[in-house]
Chain A
Amino acid sequence: MSNLLENTPLKGKENLVVAAVALGIAALLPLLFDPLSLFIDNFILAAAYVVMALGLNIVVGFAGLLDLGYVAFYALGAYTVGWFASDHFSSVNGGKGLHVLAEAIPPEFPGIHLNFLLVMVVSVIIVGIAGMLIGLPTLRLRGDYIAIVTLAFGEIIFRFAINGDEIILAEGYKLTNGRQAISPIDTIDLPFFAPFDSAFSLRPFYWFCLVLVAIVLLVNFRLRDSRQGRAWIAIREDEVAAASMGVPLVKTKLLAYATGAAFGGISGVFLGSYLTSVNANNFQFGFSIFILAMIILGGLGSIWGVAIGAILLSFINSYFIPEVFNSVPRKLGLDFDLTILNFGIFGFLILLVMVLRPQGILPERRRALELTEGVGAGDAIEVRAP
């Protein structure tokens, strides 16, 4: 086991082989289950969370900017699909709807309906810009102040989502539907494929999500090993030293926020479409911590680790807590279901991992060194136990 862990930051070809084998197995997985099985549903959620966790990993893991408001980007992505692929703005174009390459939607159906891939592009733009805007005020700040500012932004966007049904942009144009949710959302409709139908089979959603994960993984590896990735890691290690070596802080940080946010947005678009509803209740602070817990559990900065952490926590959240262990407290004679404690369980996991194995399950080599041998511990608090 320890041998395996020491070799984790695989190089070049090995990485490719591992990725190909993992993706091959993952692609065949849904054939083992019924097309509507809950397991496929769990895997789809897990894949969507992997995309989000990898996005947050760019901001927190690579660039070292603790973002506690990541849910904002999930929300914005989900609202992009809610606005541009549903009948939410039903009075647009005099009630006849505005359709762009949306063949699956009957003609003159009210609301804005963009093709799913177009929605993805739009969301990347909107959420990327939002990421930069939220990043801007944090540029002068460091460490925990960044965490608090991003948390505040996350809460502000959550409040706008919840109370958005009070904000009337124009006659018949509400910003959001609050806790009532925007629903139904158009299903995924790709060129050359029949529109996905979750009543018939979940497999297409799964494969689509898997392709998404593969692309995001590839982008992550390429980014990490690029000039940009090295710049992120440099500012994480020592901002002052990085700046004096010529790393442009503003551009580097904003790019980290924008890239990380864009992944959150993409995942939000997918989840909005897959769940066919966008409900403001989903965009609470706890969700940011849920995603953060994934990357901490997996190993901050380690791409494979984060992917594994995301899958693990996703399954704990959507399978093990509600399906397997939910009745355990009742069997022990206690009067509650385990589901009400899920955030406590995540909190406990975070605490445990941070105290006992801060480098995570599958650590990034550089960070593991920092944590165990004190390399680059310039950020450490100056108080030491005698």
Chain B
Amino acid sequence: MSTNSATADPAGRRLADTLREAVSKYGLIAVLLALPVYLAISDLATDGNLTDLGNNLVLGLSNGAIIALIALGYTLVYGIIELINFAHGEVFMIGSFVAFGLWGTFGLTEGMAVPGMIAGLLIAMVIAMIVCGALNVMIERVAYKPLRNAPKLAPLITAIGMSFILQNVGILWLGSSQSSVPDLIDQSNDLVTVGGVVINNGDVLAAAVTIPLVFLLTSFINRSRLGKAMRATAQDPDAARLMGINVNTTISMTFLLGGMLAGAAGLINLLYQTSIWYFQGFQAGLVAFTAAVMGGIGNLKGAVLGGIIIGIIQQLAEFRIGAEWTAVVVFTYLVLIMVFRPQGLIGEETREAG
């Protein structure tokens, strides 16, 4: 981006460059902190304590954990083939639908004995993960693989087409309106109260599923042979192929992992929100994508960090500004990040972000 400033006088350019550097380095952090800091001050001024904000933060964290799981799917795929898997949100939605179907099959109901419930939910989660992983691999085969050599926008467009198809599968499956599902884990039950801040069952569940999965994923990618292949393919697909890595299998593997995480997120979301509808994936997908970009797309830690930040922002917006404006707040952040720090908080510059 030096083309515009090439003719400016050196002193002015230096100032502009310093300013731009400062903005790109700290601007995003400042923008991110603006909302919570403002709310903290207004809380202190009105109630004299931060309990409300604390409650919002706890809800934001567990909400963020779910978003992080979905964001990991975006970031994994983007990291390896530089494609926004637009249908990923819909894979998450299908995960919820599969899990909900399995509850019926297993006969899980409210107030069941705890061990049976946990076993049932675990099996449902594993099956949802497998189905979503397979679905994601299939999407890659059908919609992206034939377009590897096409202009870059082509697979993005097919991804949108895929996303609409899956939404319609959702409509056919459970109708086009939002419906509530049984609250199996008594989601909003206050489990612990720390200094006025309530932590309930749903929050514990989100943490209990997300943290182990993220650790499993990172150790798989950092330690295993396939993980090594994935990292190599992400760096340079041609060189990776020359080294005897089966690039196609590796890409499929990436989609499998991303889909599995989305499936797990689908089940937690079902338990956490106690509602289900075909459109949940579109919204959550965009939010999770925002999270992935915020953290630095292609970066696993970034996706988790971004997920948590966006989760908190979303909750703050929902409780303090109004649920109908949540999307506006999240998308405004998305635009600001894209403009001022497209490489994200801890990402590196990519070709897109130039």
List A residues at the B interface (Cβ < 8 Å): 64, 66, 68, 137-138, 140-145, 147-149, 151-153, 155-156, 159-160, 162-163, 166, 243, 249-250, 285-286, 289, 292, 296, 336, 340-341, 343-344, 346-351, 354-355, 358, 370-371, 374, 377, 379-386
Q: Which of A142, A159, A166 contacts B352 (CB 8 A)?
A: A142
Q: Contacts A149-B335, A343-B167, A354-B154: A144 and B352 contacting too (C-beta < 8 A)?
A: yes
Contact across chains for B165 and A348 when beta carbons are under 8 A apart: yes
Contact across chains for B247 and A145 when beta carbons are under 8 A apart: no
Contact across chains for A355 and B335 when beta carbons are under 8 A apart: no
The CA-CA distance from A286 to B176 in the complex, in Å, is 15
Contact across chains for A380 and B152 when beta carbons are under 8 A apart: yes
Q: Give min CB distance, A368 to chain B, whole Å.
A: 12
A-B contact pairs, 28 of them (CB 8 A): A66-B156, A68-B160, A140-B353, A142-B351, A143-B352, A144-B152, A144-B156, A145-B353, A148-B289, A149-B339, A152-B335, A292-B157, A340-B176, A341-B168, A341-B172, A344-B164, A344-B167, A344-B171, A347-B162, A347-B167, A351-B142, A354-B158, A355-B142, A370-B151, A379-B153, A380-B152, A382-B238, A384-B237
Residues 315-347 of chain B: 1 if any A CB is under 8 Å from the residue's CB, otherwise 0?
Answer: 000000000110110011011001100100000
Contact across chains for B171 and A341 when beta carbons are under 8 A apart: yes
Chain B residues closer than 8 Å to A292, beta-carbon distance: 157, 160
Contact across chains for A137 and B156 when beta carbons are under 8 A apart: no
Q: Which of A340, A347, A358 contacts B164 (CB 8 A)?
A: A347
Contact across chains for A381 and B351 when beta carbons are under 8 A apart: no
- Of the listed stretches B10-18, B41-49, B80-88, chain A binds B80-88
Chain B residues closer than 8 Å to A354, beta-carbon distance: 147, 150, 154, 157-158, 161
Chain B residues closer than 8 Å to A341, beta-carbon distance: 168, 171-172
The CA-CA distance from A159 to B146 in the complex, in Å, is 36
| Contacting residues of chain B (232-266) with chain A, CB-CB under 8 angstroms | 233, 237-238, 241, 247-248, 251
- Give me 18 other A-B pairs in contact (C-beta within 8 A), A144-B352, A147-B153, A289-B160 excluded: A64-B153, A137-B338, A137-B339, A140-B353, A141-B352, A144-B156, A151-B286, A152-B334, A153-B335, A159-B324, A292-B157, A344-B169, A347-B162, A347-B168, A350-B158, A355-B146, A381-B148, A382-B237
Contact across chains for B157 and A350 when beta carbons are under 8 A apart: yes
Contact across chains for B162 and A148 when beta carbons are under 8 A apart: no
Chain B residues closer than 8 Å to A144, beta-carbon distance: 83-84, 152-153, 156, 352
Q: Give min CB distance, B353 to chain A, whole Å.
A: 7
Chain A residues closer than 8 Å to B142, beta-carbon distance: 351, 355
Residue in chain B with minimal CB distance to A356: B146
Q: Give min CB distance, B194 to chain A, whole Å.
A: 35
Contact across chains for A243 and B165 when beta carbons are under 8 A apart: no
Contact across chains for B150 and A380 when beta carbons are under 8 A apart: yes
Q: Which of A149, A153, A285, A381 contacts B152 (CB 8 A)?
A: A381
The CA-CA distance from A346 to B168 in the complex, in Å, is 11
Residue in chain B with minimal CB distance to A374: B149
Contact across chains for A336 and B156 when beta carbons are under 8 A apart: no
Q: Contacts A149-B338, A159-B327: A377 and B149 contacting too (C-beta < 8 A)?
A: yes
The CA-CA distance from A243 to B161 in the complex, in Å, is 33
Q: Give min CB distance, A329 to chain B, whole Å.
A: 9
Contact across chains for A383 and B165 when beta carbons are under 8 A apart: no
**Count, chain B residues at interface, CB 8 A:** 61
Q: Give min CB distance, B116 to chain A, whole Å.
A: 34
Residue in chain B with minimal CB distance to A371: B150
Q: Give min CB distance, B321 to chain A, whole Å.
A: 11
Q: Give min CB distance, A145 to chain B, whole Å.
A: 5
Contact across chains for A383 and B237 when beta carbons are under 8 A apart: yes
Contact across chains for A386 and B241 when beta carbons are under 8 A apart: yes
Contact across chains for A155 and B286 when beta carbons are under 8 A apart: yes
Q: Which of B149, B157, B158, B289 contacts A381 (CB 8 A)?
A: B149
Q: Give min CB distance, A70 to chain B, whole Å.
A: 13
Contact across chains for A148 and B339 when beta carbons are under 8 A apart: no
Residues 195-209 of chain B: 1 if any A CB is under 8 Å from the residue's CB, otherwise 0?
Answer: 000000000000000
Q: Which of A140, A153, A379, A382 contacts B151 (CB 8 A)?
A: A379
The CA-CA distance from A382 to B307 in the complex, in Å, is 29
Within 8 Å of chain A (Cβ to Cβ): is B143? yes
Q: Contacts A243-B3, A350-B160: A383 and B172 contacting too (C-beta < 8 A)?
A: no
Q: Give min CB distance, B146 to chain A, whole Å.
A: 5
Contact across chains for B147 and A355 when beta carbons are under 8 A apart: yes
Residue in chain B with minimal CB distance to A345: B168
Q: Give min CB distance, A347 to chain B, whole Å.
A: 3
Residues 119-152 of chain B: 1 if any A CB is under 8 Å from the residue's CB, otherwise 0?
Answer: 0000000000000000000000011011111111
Q: Contacts A379-B152, A380-B150: A160 and B161 contacting too (C-beta < 8 A)?
A: no
Within 8 Å of chain A (Cβ to Cβ): is B1? yes
Contact across chains for B338 and A340 when beta carbons are under 8 A apart: no
Contact across chains for A148 and B84 when beta carbons are under 8 A apart: yes
The CA-CA distance from A296 to B153 in the complex, in Å, is 11
Chain B residues closer than 8 Å to A358, beta-carbon distance: 147, 150, 154
Within 8 Å of chain A (Cβ to Cβ): is B163? yes
The CA-CA distance from A341 to B170 in the complex, in Å, is 10
The CA-CA distance from A350 to B159 in the complex, in Å, is 9
Residues 215-235 of chain B: 1 if any A CB is under 8 Å from the residue's CB, otherwise 0?
Answer: 000000000000000000100
Contact across chains for A344 and B157 when beta carbons are under 8 A apart: no
Q: Give min CB distance, A99 to chain B, whole Å.
A: 35
Chain A residues closer than 8 Å to B339, beta-carbon distance: 137, 140, 149
Q: Give min CB distance, B350 to chain A, whole Å.
A: 9
Chain B residues closer than 8 Å to A343, beta-carbon distance: 164, 167-168
The CA-CA distance from A385 to B247 in the complex, in Å, is 8
Contact across chains for B324 and A383 when beta carbons are under 8 A apart: no
The CA-CA distance from A148 to B285 in the complex, in Å, is 12
The CA-CA distance from A153 to B332 in the complex, in Å, is 8
The CA-CA distance from A348 to B165 in the complex, in Å, is 6
The CA-CA distance from A68 to B176 in the complex, in Å, is 23
Within 8 Å of chain A (Cβ to Cβ): is B212? no
- Ranked 5 nearest A-B pairs via Cβ: A344-B168, A347-B164, A350-B161, A351-B161, A347-B161
The CA-CA distance from A285 to B163 in the complex, in Å, is 12
The CA-CA distance from A383 to B335 in the complex, in Å, is 29
Within 8 Å of chain A (Cβ to Cβ): is B104? no
The CA-CA distance from A355 to B146 in the complex, in Å, is 7
Within 8 Å of chain A (Cβ to Cβ): is B115? no
Within 8 Å of chain A (Cβ to Cβ): is B354? yes
Chain B residues closer than 8 Å to A349, beta-carbon distance: 161
Contact across chains for A351 and B149 when beta carbons are under 8 A apart: no
Q: Give min CB distance, A314 to chain B, whole Å.
A: 17
Q: Give min CB distance, A353 to chain B, whole Å.
A: 9
Q: Which of B3, B332, B354 contacts A141 (CB 8 A)?
A: B354
Chain B residues closer than 8 Å to A147, beta-carbon distance: 84, 153, 156
